[in-house]
């Protein structure tokens, strides 16, 4: 269990009433200046104190030449000065009574022996009453606390159920921005870099007790404290899903991790053992991280795992079946009764009623789609339906093939079928909407696809761009549910 004291310190990072940014200068591209600018643009409402050795004024704020000169109390120091000065600055922060510091500066452990020595100085100072996130990081984004990371001026102001911890600053930005279009919002993003003091296990413990956080994501290059991390991860993953993108698992990757955050990457086999012992969900790309998060957010915690794939064409039933089998997902053949019911409404030739169901028409009449899904959802044989390559907006198909005709009414009816099925039968429905065309002249198709995606997401129907990614995200969820 995390101590109240530790929680209080993390709260200073996430909900600071006052911040000093140390290392602001007249160079707009300096990290300190960019961090201060990001906080201002993001709309931080607490008190802000820039520090520059020569004083002056930045962004309309008076700068202090030393943090000790600030008369007000300060909750958080964000430090962006050259590596060899950081210790001295931290000593000033200690003297000022500051208890939380983010060190954005690079040039520590990742840079070799001299950097390692400098990082050890930071660790020593941390034992004397100030907790450190970093060095070599982008800091903390917490919209409810009004704070954001270095490149996070444009991050959403709304909070959400996801927390992200990451050793890579750039990925913190990329993940938040890519997830945003899918309606995924974060309550905390902690870019923690080299983890000289507060590490992955500390942060995980804090997020475990954080009631705002329902799903935890992580990008990790090297685990600092493997034994404790396993213990904490095992405990936390019983309460909420932890999805970890672990990198540096090959010799080449580990070499790069050492240069990037001074991390020891580790081996695939050790990591796989960790996953099976901890209940943590392992992923291998930004896409898989976000897809899996979407599944965790939209599907009920104990939904069953027997899947029916309903496809607008036959090839997808083969691809989907291979994917299910490889991922260990059950896609049972329907009973003769259910097959017979489906057979009575689907074309005698061309279609398939066994599961996967091939309705042999990417643009079915809405009544037909409804009837097919009703038969499937009403059966006790499956728990979840995936719709593939059915043009739920007829506009999409006509943009591609130039042959479909449709009316507004038809579109709305077809589009709503998945919602109605979900509502009536209480079974999850998942929709696959591909980027079918990427010609620059056909941006209209992408606009239509995003509109439809947002409509479904707003109604609790997860949307993925490909069959393979859908099955992978589902498999990750089912694996997690099986550990509970």
**Minimum distance from residue 144 beta carbon to a second copy (Å):** 21
| Binding segment (CB under 8 A) for a second copy, from list 52-60, 270-278, 298-306, 321-329 | 321-329
312 near a second copy (CB under 8 A): yes
Provide the minimum distance between the beta carbon of 314 and a second copy in the complex, in angstroms, as a whole number: 4
Binder of a second copy out of 73, 284, 412, 482 (CB under 8 A)? 284
Judged by beta carbon, residue 136 or residue 366, the one nearer a second copy is 136
**Token duo for residue 182:** 């899918």
Minimum distance from residue 379 beta carbon to a second copy (Å): 19
Number of residues that bind a second copy (CB under 8 A): 93
What spatial distance separates the first Cα and last Cα of the chain, rounded to whole Å? 20
Q: How far is the CB of 421 from a second copy (least distance, A)?
A: 22
Among 269, 402, 407, 409, binds a second copy (CB under 8 A): 402
Q: Using CB under 8 A, which of 139, 358, 377, 394 touches a second copy?
A: 358
Give a three-class secondary structure readout of the chain.
Answer: CCCHHHHHHHHHHHCCCEEEEECCCCCCCCHHHHHHHHHHHHCCCCEEEEECCCCCEECCEECECCHHHCCCCCCEEEECCCHHHHHHHHHHHHHHCCCEEEECCCCCHHHCHHHHHHHHHHHHHHCCCCEEECCCCCEEEEHHHCECCCCCCCCCCCCCCEEEEECCHHHHHHHHHHHHCCCCCEEEEEECCCCCCCCHHHHHHHHHHCCCCCEEEEEECCCCCHHHHHHHHHHHHCCCCEEEEECCCCHHHHHHHHHHHCCCCCCHHHHHHHHHHHCCEEECCHHHHHHHHHHHHHCCCCCCCEEEEEECCCHHHHHHHHHHHHHCCECCCCCHHHHHHHHHHCCCCCCECCCCEECCCCCCCHHHHHHHHHHHHHCCCCCEEEEECCCCCHHHHHHHHCCCCCCHHHHHHHHHHHHHHHHHHCCCEEEECCCCCCCHHHHHHHHHHHHHHHHHHHCCCCEECCHHHHHHHHHHHHHHHHHC
Return the residues of window 251-280 that contact a second copy according to CB under 8 A: 251-253, 255-257, 259-261, 265
Region 173-192 residues binding a second copy, contact defined as CB under 8 A: 173-174, 177-178, 180-182
Site of tokens 């990001």 = 38
Residue 442 interacts with a second copy (CB under 8 A): yes or no: yes
Q: Is 248 in the site for a second copy (CB under 8 A)?
A: yes
426 binds a second copy (CB under 8 A): no
Residue 16 · residue 145 · CB < 8 Å: yes
- Contact with a second copy (CB under 8 A) among 22, 319, 385, 474: 319
The one among 53, 56, 226, 313 contacting a second copy by CB under 8 A = 313
285 touching a second copy, by CB under 8 A: yes
Rg of the chain (C-alpha set): 26
| 87 counts as binding a second copy under rule CB under 8 A | no
**Selected binder of a second copy within 45, 69, 322, 337 (CB under 8 A):** 322
Judged by CB under 8 A, the residue of 168, 199, 293, 295 near a second copy is 168
Task: Give min distance, CB of 154 to a second copy, in A.
Answer: 4
For the segment 92-121, give every residue that binds a second copy (CB under 8 A): 105-107, 111
Candidate ranges 314-322, 369-377, 378-386, 413-421; the one touching a second copy (CB under 8 A) = 314-322
| Residues 128 to 167 in contact with a second copy, rule: CB under 8 A | 136, 151, 153-154, 166-167
In the region spanning residues 323 to 342, those forming contacts with a second copy, defined by CB under 8 A, are 324-326, 331, 333
Among 279, 316, 364, 428, binds a second copy (CB under 8 A): 316
- C-beta atoms surrounding 413 within 10 Å: 16
CB of 457 to a second copy, least distance (A): 11
Rounded Cα distance, 411 and 377, in Å: 22
With respect to a second copy, which residue has the nearer C-beta, 129 or 332? 332
Instruction: Rule CB under 8 A: say whether 65 interacts with a second copy.
Output: no
In this complex, which beta carbon is closest to a second copy, that of residue 167 or of residue 237? 167
Nearer Cβ to a second copy (230/256): 256
């Amino acid at each position: 269990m995390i101590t109240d004291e530790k929680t209080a310190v993390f709260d200073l990072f996430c909900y600071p009433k006052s911040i000093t940014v140390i290392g602001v200068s007249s160079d707009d591209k300096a990290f300190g200046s960019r961090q201060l600018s990001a906080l201002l643009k993001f709309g931080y409402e607490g008190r802000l104190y820039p520090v520059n050795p020569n004083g002056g004024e930045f962004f309309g704020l008076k700068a202090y030449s030393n943090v000790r000169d600030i008369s007000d109390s300060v909750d958080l120091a964000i430090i962006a000065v050259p590596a060899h000065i950081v210790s001295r600055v931290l000593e000033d922060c200690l003297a000022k009574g500051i208890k939380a510091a983010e060190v954005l500066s690079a040039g520590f452990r990742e840079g070799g022996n001299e950097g390692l020595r400098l990082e050890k100085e930071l660790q020593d100072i941390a034992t004397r009453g100030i907790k450190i996130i970093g060095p070599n990081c982008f800091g903390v984004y917490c919209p409810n606390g009004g704070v954001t990371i270095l490149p996070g001026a444009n991050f959403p102001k709304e909070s959400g159920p996801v927390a992200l911890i990451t050793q890579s600053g750039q990925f913190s930005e990329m993940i938040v921005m890519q997830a945003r279009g899918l309606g995924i919002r974060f309550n905390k993003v902690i870019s923690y870099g080299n983890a000289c003091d507060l590490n992955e296990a500390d942060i995980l413990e804090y997020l475990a007790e954080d009631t705002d956080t329902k799903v935890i994501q992580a990008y990790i290059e090297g685990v600092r404290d493997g034994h404790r991390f396993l213990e904490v991860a095992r405990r936390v993953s019983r309460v909420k899903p932890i999805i970890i993108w672990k990198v540096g698992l090959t010799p080449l990757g580990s070499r790069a991790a050492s240069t990037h955050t001074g991390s020891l990457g580790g081996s695939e086999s050790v990591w796989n053992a960790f996953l099976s012992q901890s209940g943590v969900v392992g992923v291998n790309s930004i896409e898989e991280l976000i897809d899996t998060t979407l599944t965790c957010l939209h599907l009920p915690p104990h939904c069953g795992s027997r899947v029916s794939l309903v496809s607008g064409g036959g090839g997808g039933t083969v691809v989907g079946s291979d994917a299910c089998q490889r991922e260990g997902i059950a896609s049972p053949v329907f009973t003769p009764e259910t097959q017979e019911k489906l057979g009575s409404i689907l074309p005698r030739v061309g279609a398939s009623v066994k599961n996967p169901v091939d309705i042999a028409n990417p643009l079915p009449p809405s009544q037909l789609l409804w009837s097919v899904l009703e038969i499937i959802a009403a059966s006790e044989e499956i728990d979840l339906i995936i719709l593939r390559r059915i043009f739920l907006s007829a506009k999409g198909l006509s943009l591609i093939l130039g042959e479909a005709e449709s009316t507004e009414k038809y579109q709305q009816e077809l589009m709503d079928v998945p919602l109605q099925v979900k509502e009536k039968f209480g079974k999850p429905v998942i929709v696959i909407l591909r980027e079918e065309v990427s010609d620059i002249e056909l941006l209209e198709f992408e606009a239509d696809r995003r509109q439809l995606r947002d409509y479904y997401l707003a109604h609790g129907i997860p949307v993925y761009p490909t069959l393979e990614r859908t099955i992978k995200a589902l498999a990750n969820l089912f694996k997690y549910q099986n550990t509970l």
